[in-house]
Structure 1
Amino acid sequence: MFTTVRGRSVIVTGASKGIGKGIARTFAREGADVLIAGRNESALQAAAEDLAAQAQGRVETAVADVSRVDDCRGLAATALERFGAIDVLCANAGIFPDKPLGELTEADVDEVLGTNLKGTMFSVQACLDALTASGRGRVVVTSSITGPITGYPGWSHYGASKAGQLGFLRTAAIELAPRKITINAIMPGNIATEGLHDMGQDYIDGMEAAIPQHRLGSVDDIGHAALFFASDEAGYITGQTLVVDGGQVLPESPAALEGI
């Protein structure tokens, strides 16, 4: 049995929908007090009401744009005000606008790197003192297979941001170790979310065909991975990555999946 996270304070950024909301739900069901953050107040409130139906702990909201240092500091202050501590930070906020490399503008790149990469760094930085005070601080970063392992046309800026998160992770793990804080990353494959469904049924069918398990992952699959990294039992794991993709990155070619 894993040690319970009941009563621990958890921040999940980008949690009004999709993977972030799924991570928040997993912790809330286990009795943690969860602060969900995002840029859209009405979406956050709707998510909080939905999560509260299954929560064994408190669910609170905070409007924050993680690309802004002051917003990240305000987010940490809100968690301390509401819950009195920060034990776990799930740095999940991310955006993935589609645009070919030849059409990318400076603003396009800044927007993606600002949220996905700088937002991760600023969120961790803002929570450092509180995570240290916890004595068992945990940081869980939502990266992706896209960028670190695979590529996809139109997502060069997204892929760069996700690979950048892992570069940050490895040095951060060394710096955070004396503070008794671990930091690890989850690398999701194709997960069934609102954003993925926006890609269309043909895209979904193609992705399912390319995955050895022949199905998309669920947000709960990512939530359970985050819960593991946040556990006491994972206290000797830091600077590591966990691919959660149903085996998507394993086939050498589409032919490897023929007949299975």
Structure 2
Amino acid sequence: MSASDRLALVTGAARGIGASIARRLAEGGHPVVLSDVLEEVEATAAALRAEGHSARAIRLDVSDDAAVAALPEVLGADWARLGILVNNAGISPKHEGRRRPIAEMPPAEWRRVLEVNLTGAFLMSQACIPPLRARGWGRVIMITSQASRTMSRIAGAHYAASKTGLMGFARSLAGELGPHGITVNSIAPGRIATPMAAGAAAGANDSFLANIPAGRLGTPEDVAEVAAFLASDSAGYLNGTTIDVGGGSFMP
């Protein structure tokens, strides 16, 4: 199959890492569906279409069971063309630019982060299993975080817990889907220059930068290149692994 036969569905694709992954996959010849709760996802998809790519946008809350279950109807004929799912949607609440301490965290905030970051990836993956299994080929890519690999002084406990859970979920899914020709891998970005990172308190990124051997913050494109590789046939023997994209700020 060529890239044009493998539709990519990217969640949280309005901006930042998700938008860059959608662009990179589109540039590689994949038709792409960009999903997000943000209205600007429409403009992001329109910009890709203006450049000659096959791209459409859908408004979707990945934590909404009914909305995810309706995806086959929403995507219509595109559903059977699905070959790649990128679970990128995620939230990381800050308060005046800082994470909320565990002792002060409302249970509702904890639940919302896990609903979007972890349960959302579960719902999306579960929904996409039938079309991927039917064609005997597929790629599921989880965007986790360096906060899932080591203690973070910037991300909140709910974000770290959700992303750590996502890595465990990815390994379980990889074991179940591998026999069907479907690989499941994770990308753990370090500090990436995105709108989410920009929400941190003044000086937080500068402090983080001092501990990055590469000497710079990452870009969404850095992550997108790794995603494009994992989505390719060249990565067919990678399954259940995590690739760190952090400029050396975390070395397992």
User: Does the TM-score normalized on the shorter chain lie above 0.5?
Assistant: yes
What is the match of residue 81 of structure 1? 77
Query: RMSD over aligned Cα, in angstroms?
Result: 1.9
Matched with 1:20 is 18
1:30 has 2:28 as partner: yes
Residue 6 of structure 1: SS of its match in structure 2? helix
Secondary structure of 1:210's aligned partner:
coil
TM-score (norm 2): 0.92
Match of 2:55 among 38, 59, 62: 59
Once the two structures are superposed, what CA deviation does each residue of 1:130-186 show, in whole Å capped at 9, x if it has no partner? Answer: 111232111000000103323225511100000000111111111111221110000
Between the aligned partners of 1:5 and 1:144, the Cα distance in structure 2 is 27
Which residue of the partner structure matches residue 117 of structure 1? 118
Q: Indicate the SS of the match to 1:128.
A: helix
Counterpart amino acid of 1:37? S
Instruction: State the distance in 2 between where 1:79 and 1:152 align.
Output: 40
Trace 1:98-247 onto structure 2 (pairs within 5 A).
98=94, 99-152=100-153, 155-247=156-248
C-alpha displacement at 1:86, in angstroms? Answer: 0.6
TM-score of the two chains, using structure 1 as the length reference: 0.89
Question: Deviation per CA, 1:224-246, whole angstroms, max 9, x where unpaired?
Answer: 11111111111111111000000
| CA distances 1:97-145 after superposition (whole Å, capped 9, x unpaired) | 1321111111111100000000011100000001112321110000001
| Counterpart amino acid of residue 44 in structure 1 | V
Structure 1 counterpart of 2:13, one-letter code: A
Q: Distance in 2 between matches of 1:154 and 1:228?
A: 27
Residue in structure 2 matched with residue 47 of structure 1 by the alignment: 44
Give me the whole-angstrom Cα distance separating, in 2, the residues matched to 1:143 and 1:250. Answer: 16
Distance 1:200 1:155, change over 3 A: closer
Give the distance between the partners of 2:152 and 2:128, measured in 1 at CA: 32
Question: For 1:77 and 1:148, how far apart are their aligned partners in 2?
Answer: 37
Tell me the matched-pair count. 247
Instruction: State the distance in 1 between where 2:115 and 2:130 align.
Output: 23
Percent same amino acid among aligned pairs? 36
CA distance in 2, matches of 1:15, 1:76: 19
Structure 2 residue matching 1:150: 3-state secondary structure: coil
Q: Unpaired segments of 5 or more residues in structure 2?
A: 95-99
Tell me, what secondary structure is at the counterpart of 1:146? helix
* Aligned-partner Cα distance in 1 for 2:208–2:5: 38
Residue identity in the other structure for 1:161? S
Q: Is the 8 A contact 1:5 1:30 kept in 2?
A: yes
Contact 2:79 2:131 in 1 (8 A): no
- Given that 2:138 and 2:181 are in contact with CA atoms closer than 8 Å, whether structure 1 keeps it comes out as yes
Report the residue type matching 1:94 in the other structure.
G
